[in-house]
Amino acid sequence: MGEIRVRVFATDDAFAGALSAYLSAEPTFAVVGGTAEVIVVADAQPRSVVMSLAEEAAVLVIGPDGADDMIHALDAGAIGYLPSFCAFGEVRQAIFAVAEGQAVVPPHMLGALLRHVVRRRRANAADVERLDRLTNREREVFELLAQGHDRESIAGRLFISVGTVRTHLQRLFLKLDIHTHAEVVALAARCGIDIHDHEESH
């Protein structure tokens, strides 16, 4: 196994120092202050930190021993979660796992996590059923709106009038019981619809 660069991000300086010193003793780890493959976040409320870091590295959170805290961290983009009373040895083992893309959760929280996944899947299925109420044209308008197009742009792409676009929008907002563009984007994302306009990305 190659070297794993690890960064420790903790609100408690003493904890950060102790954990960094412990991890530095592992021959395959390089504890760094910059770019890393694995970032360990030790924070009681890590959500915003995780969201900002999850795109650049695999994030392992050390946080409160609560299922809700774990779920929030994983939803924010963390791959692994350990309770704050975990031993440093467990952190070391977890780093190896998340470096390979494996999820790490406390065994006693697995049930809560699975319940969360079941509920989310049910909600997603309900969202997909909502979209099924739309006509094909309404669906096209919905997707273009989710991608950020305004009425004029939608009309041009679909070769219809702005007035017709307005009518489709009124109908789909009513059918879907949504009222804002933000709700459109959120619903599209939950249903797995690509909300990026690739035609404009070249």
Partner 1 sequence: MRDIEDWAKTRPRRRGQAWVQRDGEETAVYNAGSGQLHIVNASALAIWELCDGETTPKEMAEAISELTGLELDASAADVHSTLMTLADAGLVEK
Q: Give which of 123, 144, 133 is closest to 175, Cα–Cα.
A: 133
- Is position 107 an interface residue for partner 1 (rule: CB under 8 A)? yes
In the complex with partner 1, which residue's Cβ is closer, 27 or 107?
Answer: 107
In the complex with partner 1, which residue's Cβ is closer, 111 or 156?
Answer: 111
Q: What is the DSSP string of 132-194?
A: TTS-HHHHHHHHHHHTT--HHHHHHHHT--HHHHHHHHHHHHHHHT--SHHHHHHHHHHTT--
One of 32, 113, 158, 162 touching partner 1 (CB under 8 A): 113
Site string for partner 1, 66-105 (x = CB under 8 A): -------------------------------------x--
One of 21, 44, 110, 189 touching partner 1 (CB under 8 A): 110
Strand partners, 83: 63
One of 118, 126, 174, 189 touching partner 1 (CB under 8 A): 118
One of 17, 56, 68, 111 touching partner 1 (CB under 8 A): 111
According to DSSP, residue 87 is labeled -
Angle at 192 between CA 176 and CA 77, to 5 degrees: 115
- On the CB side of 32, how many CA atoms lie within 13 Å of its CA? 14
- Is position 169 an interface residue for partner 1 (rule: CB under 8 A)? no
One of 25, 44, 87, 117 touching partner 1 (CB under 8 A): 117
Where on the chain is the footprint of partner 1 (CB under 8 A)? 103, 107-108, 110-115, 117-118, 121-122
